[in-house]
A and B are shown apart, each in its own frame.
Chain A
Amino acid sequence: MSTTDIAQSGDTSHDGGHGDEGHEHPSDAKYIQIAAILGVLTALEVSTYFVNIGPALIPTLMVMMGVKFFLVAAWFMHLRFDSSLFTKFFVGGLVLATGVYMIALTAFEFWTKG
C-alpha cells in the first residue's frame, strides 16, 4: 500500500470520515443533501428531452451521468471514506469493461455508422 493509499484510507478529515475499520459514516443530513443534488441532476437530464440544446446534448448528458455516478459511488457506497483497495477493485473492473467494450464498439464501426 503506497503512502497515498495510507493517507486516503486513514484520512478522517472528511465529514464523518474514517479509515478502513471502525469507520463513521456521514450524517443523515449529508445523505439527504446528496440525494437532493442527484434529484436536481436527474431533472436537468430529463429537461434535455424537452429542450433542444443542439450538439451540446450528448456531452452534457455524459457529464451529468458521470457526476451522478461519482456521487452515488463516493457517498452512498462510501468509497470516499473506505479503504482505497475497494476503489481499486471497482475502478479496475470499470476501466477494464470500458476498454474492452470501446474496442468492441470500434470493431463493429459503432462510432462511424451508429
Chain B
Amino acid sequence: MADVMTTEAPAAAHQSEGAGTGISNNKLLMWVFLGSECLLFGGLISTYLIYRSRFHTGPAPGDIFDIPFTSVSSFVLLMSSLTMVLALSALNRGDIRNNRLWLLTTALLGSLFIGGQVYEFTTFVREGLGYTTSPFSSAFFTLTGFHGIHVSVGIVMLMSLFISSLRGSLRQEHSETVEIVGLYWHFVDIVWIFIFTVIYLVPSPTS
C-alpha cells in the first residue's frame, strides 16, 4: 500500500493509466466525481429556486443582494481559473518557479473570493437575514455555503501543491496531479458561473 501512496516515483504519472484505454484512472475518477457533483449542486440550486419566494419572515433576495460587490468577487474567481491553467502550463514546460507563482496566486484569489463571501454573509446577518430566518435564507446560505466549502477545499489542495513544490517534490512528471487539482478548481468556477447568473443576476423577488 505504501508503494501506491508514494508520489515521488518518476513514473507516477504513468502508474494510474488504465489498462488498454490509455486514459489516466485518476483523471477519469475526478471526472466521474465532477459528474456526481453536478447532481449535488443541481439539487441545491433547485431547492433555492423553489424557496426563493418564501421570505415572509425576513428580507427578500431582491432587497438584499449587492450585485456590484458580487460581480467583483465573481470576476476574481473567474480569473483564478486563468492563473490555475497558467500554473499547469508552467509545470508542463518544467518552469517550477512560475508554477509556484501561479499556484500561490490562484490560492490567493480563491481566498479573496472566500473573504468576499464571509463579508457578504456577515452583512446579510447584520441586516436581519440569518440561516433560519426564512426558507429563502436557509436555501441561499446552504447553496452558497456549500460552494464556499468547495472553494476552501480547493485552496487547501493548492497550498498542498505549493508546499510540495517548495520541498522539491512537485516536478514536471507530476503535472497530472496539478491538472487534476485544476479540474476541481475549474469546476468550482463553473458552478459559480451558474450560481452568479441564476441566483444573483436573474431578477429576484422583492418585498
* Cross-chain contact of B22 among A21, A45, A86, A100 (Cβ < 8 A): A21
Query: Which of B33-41, B130-138, B155-163 is the contact stretch?
Result: B33-41
A113 to B52, CA, bound (A): 12
- B window 43-74: CB within 8 A of A: 43, 45-46, 49-50, 53, 67-68, 71, 74
Contacts of A25 in B (CB 8 A): 85, 88-89, 92
- B window 81-99: CB within 8 A of A: 81-82, 84-86, 88-89, 92
* Cross-chain contact of A94 among B22, B35, B198, B203 (Cβ < 8 A): B35
Query: Which of B107-115, B143-151, B184-192 is the contact stretch?
Result: B184-192
A73 to B24, CA, bound (A): 18
A75 to B50, CA, bound (A): 33
Q: Interface size of B by Cβ–Cβ distance < 8 Å?
A: 54
User: B9 at the A/B interface (Cβ < 8 Å)?
Assistant: no
Total number of residue pairs linking A and B with CB closer than 8 Å: 135
A113 to B49, CA, bound (A): 11
- A window 60-89: CB within 8 A of B: 61-62, 64-65, 68-69, 72-73, 75-78, 82-83, 85-86, 89
User: B101 at the A/B interface (Cβ < 8 Å)?
Assistant: no
CB <8 Å contact, A77 and B92: no
User: B28 at the A/B interface (Cβ < 8 Å)?
Assistant: yes
Contacts of B28 in A (CB 8 A): 85-86, 89
Q: Interface size of A by Cβ–Cβ distance < 8 Å?
A: 50
A38 to B190, CA, bound (A): 11
By beta carbon, the residue of chain B nearest A34 is: B82
Known: A38-B81, A85-B28, A93-B36. 16 other contacts (CB 8 A): A21-B17, A21-B23, A25-B88, A35-B82, A45-B196, A64-B197, A65-B197, A76-B186, A83-B22, A86-B28, A89-B31, A90-B31, A92-B35, A105-B49, A113-B53, A114-B53
Can you list 24 residue pairs at the A/B interface with Cβ under 8 Å? A25-B85, A25-B92, A28-B86, A31-B85, A31-B86, A34-B82, A35-B78, A38-B78, A39-B75, A46-B67, A46-B201, A61-B197, A72-B190, A73-B186, A76-B82, A77-B183, A77-B186, A85-B23, A86-B28, A93-B38, A100-B39, A101-B42, A101-B46, A110-B49
Rank and list the top 8 A-B pairs by shortest CB-CB distance, nearest first.
A93-B35, A97-B42, A35-B82, A93-B38, A101-B46, A65-B197, A97-B38, A46-B71
B residues engaging A (CB < 8 A)? Answer: 17, 21-24, 27-28, 31-32, 34-39, 41-43, 45-46, 49-50, 53, 67-68, 71, 74-75, 78-79, 81-82, 84-86, 88-89, 92, 179, 182-183, 186-187, 189-190, 193-194, 196-198, 201-203, 205
A residues engaging B (CB < 8 A)? Answer: 20-21, 25, 27-28, 31-32, 34-35, 38-39, 42, 45-46, 48-49, 57-58, 61-62, 64-65, 68-69, 72-73, 75-78, 82-83, 85-86, 89-90, 92-94, 96-98, 100-101, 104-105, 108, 110, 113-114
